[in-house]
Each structure stands twice: as structure tokens, then as C-alpha cells.
Structure 1
Amino acid sequence: MTNNNSWLQRLLGGTDSPYISPHYAENDNEGITKQQLDSFLASSMAQLDVRQRESILEDLHGIRNSENPESNPASVELWLQLLDMHLQNIKRGSVYETAEAIDRIYVTSRKFRMMFLRSNRYDPQAAAGQMIKFLELKRSLFGQEKLTRKILLTDLNEDEKTYLESGTLQISTKRDRSGREILLVFPSLRRTGTEVQVNTALRSRYYVLMNMLESEENQRNGIVLVYFGALSQPNQRESNSGLLWDLPVFLAGIHCCFNNLAAYLLISVAVLRLPFALRPRMRVHYGTCTECLDKLASFGITKEAILNDSNEPNLIGHMQWCRHRQELELTYVSESDAESVSLASTGSIIPRPLDVLFGPGSRKNEGNILVRNLAHKVLAEYNDSTNNDKVQLTETIIDEVTKRGGRFLKQNDDTKEWEEASHIEACRKIAHTFRNIRRPSRAKSKS
């Protein structure tokens, strides 16, 4: 590090440094130091070529790129082959070999590997390295017995569930200008006087982020991270817990908001720990709550995506998400059948060809045929999967249906009108389809 950045070295020295004193706003060097921090962040952007800078700026400002790298199947197959080649070269003696011995299907499945290719912008070598780091992280957090299966709420202890429910980390109910999901961090929601253990925070964050990655749309387009510290004073609790950079998530933009200069300068520690590729995607905003919200708006992130009408975090929406996850996971454990309803309809919702219909007589509908075809493609993997892995396979099919404009429709028992089924009912419908195609003789009479 050069002498010009020696102030950053002093920041790493501890809280006694005058550079992070709560009274630093009175320091005459405030403007210079703030300028140095901004310059340090900007320097990473200057090292990129014009095309890279334009791409990052479009991502940061919520401008959707219409290009789809996966539109060429030959390219996708080549990336997968190269990824496998790199894994063969580096896996010897690694946790990858351990995972492969436990459940080879888990680490070799196309869905699992595409997640890492997407997060690394289709760089097979980088994807292979991150896959091993991910498995190392997962083993360190949850143990080897859970290395090759999906982590559920039941895998979290009470402290971790409490941290999760606090809303310190939550998924916004709104999306940014380009339709990307927003992951919010609210340090103000940390319980006062409560010391959060590092693993408690990490395991909870792992759970939230990996659930975001169940959506292939999030994998392809990335997510936006907003650390909204404009509601609280600087707090160094959990300073070592960090974020999970080894997870296969593409962060299209990172925004850190502070209303206190001390906290603003503390972020330099996080900047130094960021992978270099993420530094150009980071923006640090300093000002009042309103000023920070205005700055976020210029990047396509509305105030409603951050706070509710009372200028507070949206805990109601977060608790609804927590309940939804709990109900969804219980659904997959039980795999109970979806209730069939009559096909006769006088409702105002008119089924479209790609809709998936509940009830007898709907087998020939195009959407139902699509679901069966998608289920057939992954049937072997589904049969060999645990209930936890079935969650991911079912979500993939639902995502594919909705991506094509399809809906899951059922009929109201009383009015006989078509209405949209809940997500849980859609999951049950997919599970029901898998059971039917495993019993073809019975499937003819089922929907």
C-alpha cells in the first residue's frame, strides 16, 4: 500500500485512531480524508477498460442489459466442460472430493454448477475456485453431514432464528429499476447490548442469501446489496462477521449509507477486504436519512424499497417472508397432495395456454404439458434426491413456468371462478406431478 493510503492502514489499527473518533466531524482534515476515501473507491474503476466501466455503471444505475449469454446452448456446454476440467485439476485432496464421495449428484448437477458460472460471469476457472471455497464455507458453518444438502430453517438454532427474525438482514419487498431483488442490512435493528456471535450472523446470512439464489433470475441478473446505516450511530458489533463473499451470488451493486462520518470512514476496512472485482461496484453515501434515500433513488432504488411510510424498516414484510419460508419447507417435508377442484368455470380470470391448471381434464393444457416435460427431464435426479433437494428442483420448475408467463390456476370451491393458487399450492402441484409420472398407470386419471 502506498503512502497516500497510509490513513487506511491507521484505520485498521483500532478504534483509538482519531480517524474514527465519534468526534471526528470536528477535525479540520475531515474533507481531505473523505476525499481520499472517495478517491480510493474510484481508483478501482479507473483500472478497467471502457467497456467494463460502462457495463458496471449500467448495473449500478439499474439499466437492464438485454444480452443473454446463455442464449447460445453451445457456449453453455463449453463453459460446463471447462468448469469440470478446472475442477478435475484442483479438486485433489479438497472438500470437493469429500462432497463428491457423499453425494456426487449434488456437486455435478447442472443446476448447481450453473449457479457458480453465473455468479462469476461465465468464467469457468473462477467458478471452479469459488465452488471449492463455497463448500469449505458450508462445511465450516454447518458441518460435513450437511455439506451436500439444502440448509433449512430447522438447521438454525434459536439464536440464529432470532437474528433472522430481527430483520437486520432482509429481502426488500420492492425491486430496483431493472427488476433486481434488493438485499437490505439494517444495523439499527441489532438488539442493543446483545453480542451476536460470528457464526450466528454468518449462518443466518447464508440461509437468506442461498434462498435468494433459488431464483435463476437472481443468479443471472444479480442482486443489489444496500447497507442502510443512516438510521443509527456506528456500531462495531459483528465487525468480523463480514459478508459471505464465497457464496455464488453476483452483486450487481453495493451501496453503504451512513449519517455519521465515523461510520463512513469505518467502511474503508470493508473496502480493503472486498474482492477487487467488487470494488468498482461499491458506492458509499454520507448524509442524513433523506439525503441517503435521494442518492439511492439516483441508482434506481426507491425509498419504498428501503423504508415504510413511517421511515422505518419494513418488518411486516420481512415476517411474512419468514412465515412463507417456514410453510414452504413444511410443505416439502410432507409432500401432501394438492386439492383438486372442478374444471367448470364462469370466473373473470380466463386461463391462458401456458397456465398450469388444477383439476381433472387439464392434462392437455399446454402449461400442464410443460410442467410434465420439465419434471421428466429431472425425474432421475428428483428420485435420487432428499426432501431438501426436492425443494430446489420444484422451485426451478415454478420459475420456468412463471418466466414464460404462465400462472398456476385453481377454481374456487364456492364460486367456481378461476383464481391464482398460492405458492405453496403450486409447490404441491409440482410434487403431485412427480408422483404421477412415476406411476404412469395412475397418471391418466390425474391432472
Structure 2
Amino acid sequence: MSTPVAISKKPCLCGYDSSSCGGGHMTSQLNNSSRKRKLQGASYFDDVLMEGMKNLSFDQIQREQELLHGVADDVDLDDNTIDDLLLELESHLHRMKKGTAYELAERQDPSYVSNREFHLAFLRSSHFEPKASAAKMITFFKYKQDLFGEDSLVRDITVQDLNQDDLSCLLDGNIQFSPFRDRSGRTIFAEFLGLRTKTTIRTVLRARLYMLANSVETMIDISKGSVIIGYLVEQYGGCWKEESCLWKLSLSDLTAFIYVTAIQ
């Protein structure tokens, strides 16, 4: 992945307002070489994908490809195995939670945090790997606290939690759900970056978290997951060092975020 070299206060290449995104975000001006590489469009993401695959076994590569294209078989586990995995997940959480937003949420409402279906959703999202699931839960509560405050930790995010900027981000139409599912039954969530008005990373993340959280309505949604398609037209990520930025890609990201790129 390209490394940004020079820093300036010009508007970010990804379309965000670097002066007000929070966390001291600064625009990353890419050098001529990396800029040319980005303009190659889809081939750039192919490079990212291939780089991530270098350290995987043949079986792991096969699994990731199946997930990417929606042809992977559903994992079917018996109740006893699921119970064992849930216990292992709780064990990992116990070791990881000290000083985290997860621990704070647990103190606020233990029943919300320890809900079986809630834990099972994270297990499914990590292919029933307890340690990875625990890490996801810790991260989920961290960003929930960062974006919506401590009082949101043990309740669902609703439209009442959104401010005017968040609502404008949604009404721009750059974040949409498809009425259809993909071949494996996953819901399809699309971002049209060319429709995005000048906004902040924080606003986009708040709007995205609200939409994703409210898209999970059935066990099918939980078990199948979602596909997120980013349609990149006249927008290219320049904020590679921003921790919460969409553009920090890895192989595991690409199995969850499928990017369709286009050059006008």
C-alpha cells in the first residue's frame, strides 16, 4: 500500500473536510508515482488483494475468494459447539476488556452486553473465530462511544441520535441500500462517493453506523452479513493514516467491502 509523503492543509483527496474531521486529520498529498497508481482504478485494489494473499495458505485463499464472490457454504454448527465457542468468546473478552468502552458498557447494563444473540452475531461475522470476534466487539463499543457518547453504549442507535449534518449526509443519497440481495443472500449496501457533499469523516461514520445497525432485522441478516460497494468516481482516498478512515484496506477488509471502481 502506498505511503503518503507530504502533508498539507488542502481539502482531502477523499472528499472530506480535513479542517474539521476531528482527531487532527490532515490531508495526505500523494506523490506523482502513487497518484498515477491510484488512477489505474480497479488494478490498484487487485494489488492490495494480492499483497494480502501472499501470507495465506491455499485453503485460506480459497475461503476468502468464496466469501468475496458470495459462493461460500454456510457454517452449520450444532448447539453444543456454539455454546463452547460462546464460552471461549467470553474468555477472550474477559482478557481484553480492561479499560475499554466494552467494560464501561458491561458496568452500565450487563444484560445488554452479555446477550447471547448479540455475541452470536459477532461470532458469525468472524467465521466463528472467538478471539477475532472478541476483538471486533471491543472495537465496536470503542467506536460507538467515540461517535455517539457513553450514553449510547447499551442501547440501539436511532434517528433521534443524528444531528442535522448526519441527516444531510443520509439525504445526499451517497449511502443507500439495495432492495435486492446478492447470490448468497447478503444485503447490499452502497456508497456513491461522487454524491457526497463536503463533510467530515465523523459525520460519515455516524451516518454509516446508524444505517448498518438498523439494517440487521432478521437472523438471515446476521448469518449472511452484508456487502458494501464503494463506487469510486472522481474520489480517491488520501487519508491513509486516519485510523477510522474507510481507505485503510487489508485482505480481510476486502472480503467485507467490495469496491467497484470507475474512472470518468
TM-score (norm 1): 0.48
Q: Does the aligned pair in 2 maintain the 1:138–1:147 contact within 8 Å? A: yes
Residue identity opposite 2:3 in structure 1: Q
1:140 pairs with 2:140: no
1:277 pairs, out of 242, 252, 255, with 252
Partner of 1:69: 76
Partner of 2:207: 204
Change (3 A) 1:217 1:238: farther
Aligned pairs for 1:49-198 within 5 A: 49-65=57-73, 67-70=74-77, 72-191=78-197, 195-198=198-201
Change (3 A) 1:68 1:143: same
Change (3 A) 1:42 1:76: same
Rg bigger for which structure?
Answer: 1
Q: Does the aligned pair in 2 maintain the 1:11–1:20 contact within 8 Å? A: no
Counterpart CA distance in 1 for 2:84 and 2:184 is 29
Counterpart CA distance in 1 for 2:52 and 2:82 is 30
Counterpart CA distance in 2 for 1:74 and 1:11 is 52
Partner of 2:17: none
Counterpart CA distance in 1 for 2:91 and 2:225 is 26
Partner of 1:318: none
Counterpart CA distance in 1 for 2:262 and 2:184 is 25
Q: How big is the shift at 1:36?
A: 7.5
Counterpart CA distance in 2 for 1:156 and 1:227 is 23
Counterpart CA distance in 1 for 2:258 and 2:134 is 29
1:41 pairs, out of 41, 49, 54, with 49
Partner of 2:3: 9
Change (3 A) 1:37 1:277: closer
SS of equivalent to 2:211: helix
Counterpart CA distance in 1 for 2:179 and 2:6 is 36
**Deviation string, structure 1 residues 357-377 (Cα, Å, up to 9, x no partner):** xxxxxxxxxxxxxxxxxxxxx
CA RMSD in angstroms, aligned pairs only: 3.1
Partner of 2:222: 219
Change (3 A) 1:131 1:35: closer
**What 5-or-longer segments of structure 2 have no aligned partner?**
8-27
Change (3 A) 1:18 1:123: same
Q: How big is the shift at 1:279?
A: 4.6
Q: Does the aligned pair in 1 maintain the 2:166–2:203 contact within 8 Å? A: yes
Counterpart CA distance in 2 for 1:10 and 1:95 is 31
Aligned pairs for 1:45-444 within 5 A: 45-65=53-73, 67-70=74-77, 72-191=78-197, 195-229=198-232, 232-234=233-235, 240=242, 242-243=245-246, 270=247, 273-279=248-254, 287=262
Q: How big is the shift at 1:123?
A: 1.2
Identity of matched residues, %: 30
Q: How big is the shift at 1:34?
A: 8.6
Residue identity opposite 2:76 in structure 1: P
The number of aligned residues is 241
Counterpart CA distance in 2 for 1:84 and 1:221 is 23
Q: Does the aligned pair in 1 maintain the 2:187–2:227 contact within 8 Å? A: yes
TM-score (norm 2): 0.78
**What 5-or-longer segments of structure 1 have no aligned partner?**
244-269, 290-447
Change (3 A) 1:176 1:35: closer
Counterpart CA distance in 2 for 1:37 and 1:157 is 34
The structure richer in helix per residue is 1
Change (3 A) 1:50 1:146: same
Q: How big is the shift at 1:9?
A: 2.4
Change (3 A) 1:108 1:285: closer
SS of equivalent to 1:164: helix
Counterpart CA distance in 1 for 2:3 and 2:173 is 33
Q: Does the aligned pair in 2 maintain the 1:185–1:228 contact within 8 Å? A: yes
Residue identity opposite 1:84 in structure 2: E
1:19 pairs, out of 14, 20, 33, with 33
SS of equivalent to 2:29: coil
SS of equivalent to 1:131: helix
Change (3 A) 1:37 1:132: closer
SS of equivalent to 1:69: coil
Change (3 A) 1:41 1:64: closer
